[in-house]
Amino acid sequence: MTERISNDAGAHRGSGFRERVERAIRMTERLNALPYDDRAAIRQAWSELTGQPEDETFNLIPPVYSDHGVNIRLGRNVFINQGCRLDDIGGIEIGDEVMMGPGVRLISSGHPLEPALRRKGITAAPIRIERNVWIGAGAMVLQGVTIGEDSVIGAGAIVTRDIPRAVLAVGVPARVVRSID
């Protein structure tokens, strides 16, 4: 379900929206400046961005980008490759054993289709990536999508609707091409 978030009459100023975005930009800039070999510092910076402790099974190769950071939840043994973008206004939940290739985009918000409303607010809905999913390089997952356990999203795919468990989905828009046994 997509939620509409208003931007009328400075609503974001009062809600701290702009401050959260500015904070996330500052924190990801610092995280992205850390050397790849300093895994503990990367995990610590990620924990500060998300407000959630990450264990030693979490692996991130910077750079990474986020518009809030505080709406991201990760399971165990998650791998996020370089150049990924996690826009988490609507929330992003990533299950255990998930792998994300380079340049993956998880976009949990957008703007209303109606021309009169586009500059007055945003739409947002959570993204849920279930256990043992592999998202290929350059793929994009849009707001409100759930990707089922054990599925693979092919490189460059754009996922606009839910993907069932244990399938390969490819293309634009992504479509299921076969089951994974």
- Calculate the alpha carbon distances from 72 to 114, 128, 166, 176 in Å: 28, 10, 24, 26
Which of 73, 111, 131, 165 is catalytic? The answer is 111
For the stretch 22-67, pLDDT in tens is 999 999 999 999 999 999 999 999 999 999 998 899 999 999 999 9
Partners of 118 in the beta sheet?
none
pLDDT at site 181? 82
Alpha-carbon distance 130 to 153, whole Å?
Answer: 12
What phi and psi, each to the nearest 5 degrees, are found at residue 175?
-135, 150
For the stretch 126-170, pLDDT in tens is 999 999 999 999 999 999 999 999 999 999 999 999 999 999 999
Based on the residue annotation, tell me whether 68 is a catalytic residue of this protein.
no
Q: How confident is the model at residue 174 (pLDDT cuts 50, 70, 90)?
A: very high
Query: Among 129, 113, 131, 134, which residue's Cα sits nearest to residue 162?
Result: 129
pLDDT at site 15? 66
For the stretch 65-105, pLDDT in tens is 999 999 999 999 999 999 999 999 999 999 999 999 999 99
Alpha-carbon distance 115 to 9, whole Å?
Answer: 18
